Amino acid sequence: MKKKGAALLMALMLLAACISQAQAAIAWGSRGSDVIRIQQRLRQYGYMDGPADGIFGQETYDAVIWFQRKNGLKADGVVGPATAAALGISLGGGSTAASSYNESEIYLLARLVYGEARGEPYVGKVAVAAVVLNRVRSASFPNTISGVIYQAGAFDCVADGQINLTPDSDSIRAARDAMNGWDPSGGCIYYYNPATATSAWIWSREVRLTIGAHAFAV
């Protein structure tokens, strides 16, 4: 009897795990508030034009695939934990927003954006912030925002002191948008202004796109 009881308990635990995994992913045919949050972010980030109607159909699927490909995620059209985190949402809950960062980190990133991308289009400001966060996630760079920003020779605004300027509201908003998962750079870890860049090395990097005056590269 004890063996049967243990086997039944194990089966129930496996079933619960399967149900939990299923609930943690949103895919074609899903409906409800999670789908609405996904659609709202896809619309906000420019991947989807249709309404946030809470129905996961063809347009939402195509937008999710596009978002996943642009952000280096598994392009399966399923919004699981990794894709949800990149979108800045928590499945079954609200937005994760910039909650994993403290206010001082947000403000420091905003100062970097203001110093490096002042005068650039808003999407370019977000892209600059995203490059910093992409570096944080890369094994080739320091694993903190401050470490990336203050790495020797990494950013001109640190060298010339503009990092100490007070950021404007757009720069703060751009930092938050990047922290919420918006990456207009598509995963790039470098950017530079072709009109002013003097480093021969940076010209060797593969440019993926240009936003405003900045070329974004890997």
134-172 pLDDT, tens digit each: 999 899 999 899 999 999 989 999 999 999 999 999 999
Q: Which of 12-21, 87-96, 207-216 has the lowest mean pLDDT?
A: 12-21
Q: What is the pLDDT of residue 115?
A: 97
Query: For the whole prediction, is pTM greater than 0.85?
Result: no
What's the whole-number mean pLDDT along residues 193-214?
89
Strands (E), the chain: 190-192, 207-211, 214-217
Assign 156 to helix, strand or coil. Answer: helix
- Residue 20 pLDDT class (50, 70, 90 cuts): very low
Res 95 pLDDT > 90: no
Distance CA 204, CA 154 (A): 16
The confidence score (pLDDT) of residue 121 equals 94
> Over 90: is that where the pLDDT of 129 sits?
yes
Comparison of pLDDT for 200 and 110, the residue scoring more: 110
Q: Report the distance separating Cα 106 and Cα 148, nearest Å.
A: 14
Whether residue 63 has pLDDT greater than 90: yes
Closest CA to 174 of 121, 126, 128: 126
